[in-house]
Amino acid sequence: MSPPLLSIRDLRVSFPTRQGIFEAVRGVSFDLGRERLGVVGESGSGKSMTGRAILGLVRPPGRVTAERMQLDGQSILNLPERRMRKIRGSRISMVMQDPKFSLNPVMTVGAQIIEAYRLHAGGAKAEARRKALEMLQAVQIRDPERVMGAYPHQVSGGMGQRIMIAMMLAPDPQILIADEPTSALDVSVRTEVLNIMDRLVRDRGMGLIFISHDLNLVAQFCDRVLIMYAGRIVETLPAQDLHRARHPYTQGLLNSLPRLDAPVARLPVLHRQDSWRDDLPEGL
Amino acid sequence: MLNVENLDVWFGHDPDRVAAVTSAAFSVAPGESFGLVGESGSGKSTILRAIAGLIDSWSGRIEVAGKPVAGSRRDRAFYKTVQMVFQDPYASLHPRHSVDAVLSETLRLQGMGDIDRRITRLLDDVGLGRGFRFRYPHQLSGGQRQRVAIARALAAEPRLLLLDEPTSALDVSVQAEILNLLADLRAEHGLTYVMVSHDLAVIGHMCERLAVMQQGRILEIMSADALRRGAGDDPYTRRLIAASAGYSRA
B235 close to A (CB below 8 A): no
> Is the minimum CB–CB distance between B226 and chain A shorter than 8 Å?
no
pLDDT at A157: 79
Mean pLDDT in runs of 10 for chain B (250 residues)? 94 86 95 92 91 93 92 87 89 90 91 89 88 90 90 92 90 89 92 94 95 94 92 89 77
Compute the average pLDDT of residues A188-208: 86
Residue A2: CB atoms within 10 A of its CB come to: 6
pLDDT recorded at residue B186: 94
Examine residue B249 and state whether it is found in any structural domain, yes or no: no
From the list A42, A43, A258, which residue is nearest B204 (CB)? A258
Would B52 be classed as within a structural domain? no
Confidence (pLDDT) at A188: 77
Interface check B210 vs A, CB under 8 A: no
Provide the shortest C-alpha distance from residue B223 to chain A (in Å).
12
Interchain contact, A253 vs B172, CB within 8 Å: yes
The CATH number covering residue B171 comes to 3.40.50.300
User: Which of A161, A157, A198 has the alpha carbon at shortest distance from A181?
Assistant: A161
Q: Which residues pair with B85 in a beta bridge?
A: B163
Q: How far apart are CA B1 and CA B64, in angstroms?
A: 6
Supply the pLDDT for residue B180. 93
One DSSP character per residue, chain A reads -PPPSEEEEEEEEEEEETTEEEEEEEEEEEEE-SSEEEEE--TTSSHHHHHHHHTT-PPTT-EEE-SEEEETTEE-TT--HHHHHHHBTTTEEEE-S-HHHHS-TTS-HHHHHHHHHHHHH---HHHHHHHHHHHHHHTT-S-HHHHHT--GGGS-HHHHHHHHHHHHHTT--SEEEEESTTTTS-HHHHHHHHHHHHHHHHHHT-EEEEEES-HHHHHHH-SEEEEEETTEEEEEEEGGGGGG--SHHHHHHHHTS--SSS--SSPPPP---THHHHSPPTT-
pLDDT for A101 beyond 90: no
Q: What are the chain B neighbours of A186 within 8 Å (beta carbons)? A: 39-40, 198
Task: Note whether residue B214 is domain-resident.
Answer: yes
Query: Does domain A1-91+222-284 fall into CATH 3.40.50.300?
Result: yes
Structural domain that includes position B86: 2-47+57-244
Residue B250 covered by a domain: no
Tell which wins on pLDDT, A191 or B28.
B28
> Domains of chain A: which residue ranges?
1-91+222-284
Would the CB atoms of A188 and B200 count as touching at under 8 Å? Answer: no
Mean pLDDT, rounded, for A252-267? 88
Instruction: Report whether pLDDT(A227) > 50.
Output: yes
How many separate domains does chain B show?
Answer: 1
